[in-house]
Structure 1
Amino acid sequence: MIASDIPNDPARRIRQAAEALAPHLVAIRRDIHAHPELAFEETRTAGIVAAELARLAIPHRTGIGRTGVLGVIEGGRPGPTLAIRADMDALPIAEETGLPFASTVPGKMHACGHDIHTATLLGVGAVLKELAPMLAGRVLLVFQPAEEVLEGAAAMIADGAAEGVDLALGFHNQPDLPVGSFGYARGACLAAADRFDLVVRGKSGHAAHPYAAVDPIVAASAFVAQVQTVVSREIKPIHPAVVTIGMIEGGATYNIIPERVRLKGSVRTLHAEARDRAEAAIRRLATGLEATMRVQCAIDYQRKVPPLVNDDRVLEPALAAVRAQFGEVIEEGEPSMGSEDFAEFAARAPAFQLRIGSGAPGRDDRLHNANYQPDERCIELGVQALSRTALEMLA
């Protein structure tokens, strides 16, 4: 790449650089894919990232947020600090793709494409390192652990990863978008994620004599039914919300009323008012069981991450950059009730998350699926889109 040519034809130069990097980045992705690591276990992946940053002569620190890596590219002139974030962790899923580079670790798989993200950000680092003299400001390359448990961003931020950050850029591969296309949503694009554990304690006894016991299964069942009214009767219809009971456990055999039942649930909301109402309602319903069903309820309600809100101050220049690089390949989409802890960075600085099409021709893939096979061309295209966005934002 010839830096002096960038002002005249940045699209061509960035494209050529990304195309040249693509085989190497695909090889890195396949290596990471074959050796998936769960949340806060990403020591091997972090080692690959650190080695690659060292090869590119990009200063970096490891052990940020336990297993995260933070690289720094200093621009040629003073300006804002732009953080670009990729997540590194895998999922506890047994892979069924049959690919030659499939997971070698039983019960673990990169079924969400974080291997794609890691390779993409390494490519962005390589391109921006060459463009550094033209940048007004600095770029932080944030390789984050533990996104799937919604704890890695907070851990890195606690170790200083967000200090001095003026703007933040995130991205995610999207199998519902064909490779070569991009997407976005305005405002709150991903939901806040909260969760709760509820223990309903009764009094165990013989199934033949329920009057001498206090049945926690009946009480827990009533709670499951009642909690469905939180969305339908307590939250405004124009405020999307989802309340789901994901686990219920109690009892061991046919003829014994158990002592307790355990439930686990999740709450997703896009608006602060809905988030507050949902928590208050769930707590109230649990308290109500004690009065009406003679049980004791212990609830542990945790707010995990806020909604991810795309800020127009980052969104608009990013859209312009993608269109300048590729043409009209980016379209507005809808918010999702999925969650993403990049929201922790977005809560501290204006941010935007770009959706990068990864759908392969002839396939109908979905994230978190044992047979997920993204189109690897999304790596090179993501490098182009993110590099061009950084170049334009730090011009």
Structure 2
Amino acid sequence: MGNSLKSISPKLFRQESSSVARGVIDMMDDIEIRNEAAAQRDYVIGCRRAIHRFAETSGREVRTSAFIKQQLDEIGIPYESLVKTGIIGILDTGRAGPHIALRADIDALPLPENPDNLKRARVVISDTPDETCHACGHDAHTAMLLGASKVLRKHIGELTGVIYLCFEEGEENGGGIQVMLDTLATKKVDSCWGIHVYNALESGKICVQAGPRMAGAIRVELTFVGRGGHGSRPDLSINPVFCAANFVNNLAVAFVNQIDANETVTCGITAIQGGQVANVIPDTATVLGSLRFFSMSEGDKAVRILHEVAENTARMHRCSVEYNEKYNKISVGPTINDPYYSELAAKALDAVLPSGTVSPCAPWYASDSFSLWLNRYPGVYAHLGINNPEYGSGAPHHNSYFDVDENVLDIGLIATLKYVNALGEEATPGQASKEKA
């Protein structure tokens, strides 16, 4: 089964790893890391543009998956293909050391793509711009991990342990996470690392703060069932539209008065779908939306409030309520960076990147399946800033104008390499004396 370091202290992990390591490994130094990132710049950008053109949605990433496999074959890294399009590359150094999972998501969105970003014409556009596009940055995530794979394979003699290169399908709909984690559960994983580009953070900055970094999510989809009839005689019907409207107001009031004032739970109700004509009362009215939170206890409370308000409001209006069994519960928890590994990453990145590059940022209200990785393995989900008004990047994610500032991809590559290096140094005897020398 996968081994989570939450069950043992990082100090104990270092002692256990050191006791079985043999010899002194000369890890990559910061100059090598920066030089290798610069050397891979064109490769990473080229990969990002190729994947951007494919723009395949969740579970359909056939060309994207084939491209990743081709790259791993050329680099010389063996891999396991998962049930559909997910891939785990395996870089085994043959030496004792940390087992690190590096993750990138690979899917695009069913969203039209504008030929321009916020400033200028794009450098690359989807092959199917009227249907799908990479409007969240997963093309950049995959490209950076491929660049890291290339460098890590080249420097395998300077590494310890095992590195898993995880390309996760279907992040947007959650379709790929379970098979990925089930496969990793058959292996040993000590820590995980991922990067998400972030439109609200200035280009050239990267955030590796500890604690909640992205929100948990509860999708709301429930239907109030009444009894339809003629609009002229509402007294002879049971109108679910009024019930749905009252539910929305009641839910907002309940949140204001019951959610912990020190916590944040957003109530994003987006639709009431009832009848279609002016003189017919419908049989049903459906409410759609989502709730976002950063504390699991408040997320659990939000689910309870949602159900209590729905049931009581339905009773007031002589309706019943039906829940979509897939939703109206926590679908994904908040993404919470491990304190120890966040501090380790911050110190390591400060040493290799220009001063001021490592930066704090406010938590992001979007949700991500990487929360499930961090529930199982301690690690870090970094946010890489792409907000560059001069370039034209900075539009919100899942927006047709969204674009990635390609000038920052080398920062993500450096950060990934340095995280691997930092964990290797933690577990390698003699490293401290080498650095002092």
**TM-score, structure 2 normalization:** 0.85
What's the CA shift for 1:92? 1.6
Q: Please show how residues 100-119 of structure 1 align to structure 2 within 5 Å.
A: 101-105=124-128, 106-119=130-143
2:402 matched residue in structure 1: 372
Counting matched residue pairs gives: 389
1:272 matched to which residue of 2? 296
Q: State how far apart, in whole Å, the 1-side matches of 2:187 and 2:263 are.
A: 33
More displaced stretch, 31-40 vs 293-302? 293-302
Per the TM alignment, residue 387 of structure 1 is displaced from its structure 2 partner at its CA by 0.4
* Contact in 2 for aligned 1:197/1:264 (Cα 8 Å): yes
Cα separation, partners in 2 of 1:281 and 1:8, compared to 1, 3 Å: closer
Task: Structure 2: give runs of 5+ residues left out of the alignment.
Answer: 1-24, 117-121, 426-437
Letter of the aligned partner of 2:419 in structure 1?
Answer: T
Q: Aligned runs of 1:312-323 on 2, under 5 Å? A: 312-323=339-350
Partners of 1:365 and 1:269 in 2: how far apart? 23
Distance, in Å, in 1 between the alignment partners of 2:33 and 2:219 is 43
The answer to whether the aligner puts 1:331 opposite 2:359 as a matched pair is yes
Asked if the contact 1:70–1:161 (Cα under 8 Å) also holds between the matched residues in 2, the reply is: no
SS of structure 2 residue aligned to 1:103: coil
- Is contact 1:78-1:137 (8 Å) kept? yes
Q: Does 1:52 align with 2:83?
A: no
Q: Quote the residue 2:388 is aligned against.
A: 360
Contact 1:213 1:257 in 2 (8 A): yes
Distance 2:321 2:200 in 1: 41
Q: Is 1:88 aligned with 2:88?
A: no
Q: Name the CA shift for 1:131/1:229 in 2 (closer, same or farther; >3 Å).
A: farther
Q: What residue is the counterpart of 1:141 in the other structure?
A: 165
Alignment match, 2:329: 302
How far 1:9 moved relative to its partner? 7.2
Partner of 1:153: 177
Match of 1:3 in 2: none
Cα displacement (A) at 1:163: 3.6
Partner residue of 1:10? Answer: 29
Out of 356, 363, 373, which is 1:345 matched to? 373
Alpha-carbon distance change, 353 to 199 in structure 1, aligned in 2, over 3 angstroms: same
Per the alignment, residue 32 of structure 1 pairs with 51
Q: Report the counterpart of residue 222 of structure 1 in structure 2.
A: 246
Structure 2: which amino acid aligns with 1:389?
Y
Q: What's the CA shift string for 1:176-227, capped at 9, x where partnerless?
A: 3333221133211111112132111111111111110000000010011111
Deviations 1:78-131 (CA, angstroms, capped at 9, x unpaired): 122110101111112110034352112122110111000000000011111122
CA deviation string 1:126-163 (max 9, x = no partner): 11112222222111111011111234222311344674
Counterpart of 2:124 in structure 1: which amino acid? F
Unaligned segments of structure 1, at least 5 residues: 1-5
Q: 2:199 aligns with which of 164, 175, 186?
A: 175
Which stretches of structure 1, 4 residues or more, deviate above 6 A after TM superposition?
none
Establish whether residue 250 from structure 1 lines up as the match of residue 274 from structure 2. yes
SS for the counterpart of 1:331 is coil
1:286–1:297 contact (8 Å) kept in structure 2? yes
Decide whether aligned partners of structure 1 residues 297 and 95 sit closer, same or farther in structure 2, where only a CA change above 3 A counts.
same
Deviation at 1:229, TM superposition (A): 2.1
Partner of 1:347, secondary structure, is: helix
How far apart are the structure 2 equivalents of 1:358 and 1:324?
A: 22
RMSD: 1.8
Distance 1:299 1:19 in 2: 52
Deviations 1:359-388 (A, max 9, x none): 235234322221122211222221111101
Bigger drift between 358-367 and 53-62 goes to 358-367
Inter-partner Cα distance in structure 2 for 1:161 and 1:147: 19
> What is the rounded CA distance, in whole Å, between the counterparts of 1:161 and 1:130 in structure 2?
27
Report if the CA contact (8 A) 1:77-1:133 is conserved. no
User: Offset of 1:28 from its aligned partner?
Assistant: 1.5
Q: Is the 8 A contact 1:230 1:278 kept in 2?
A: no
Task: Determine what percentage of the aligned residue pairs are the same residue.
Answer: 29
SS across alignment from 2:87: strand
Which among 170, 179, 192 is matched to residue 216 of structure 2?
A: 192
Q: Which amino acid is the alignment partner of residue 309 of structure 1?
A: I
- Give the counterpart of 1:391 among 412, 416, 421: 421
2:57/2:107 contact within 8 Å kept: yes
- C-alpha contact 1:168 1:345 (8 A) present in aligned 2: yes
Relative to its length, the structure with more strand (as a share) is 1
Give the Cα separation in 1 of the matches to 2:167 and 2:185: 10
Structure 1 counterpart of 2:173, which letter?
V
Deviations 1:249-271 (A, max 9, x none): 11010100001111222121111
**CA offsets per residue over residues 35-90 of structure 1, 9 Å max, x none?**
201111111111111110110111101125x2111001112521221101011111
Q: Which moved more, 1:191-200 or 1:249-258?
A: 191-200
Alpha-carbon distance in 2 for matches of 1:58, 1:165: 18
Counterpart selection for 1:124 from 135, 148, 158: 148
TM-score, length basis structure 1 = 0.94
Correspondent of 2:257 among 204, 211, 233: 233
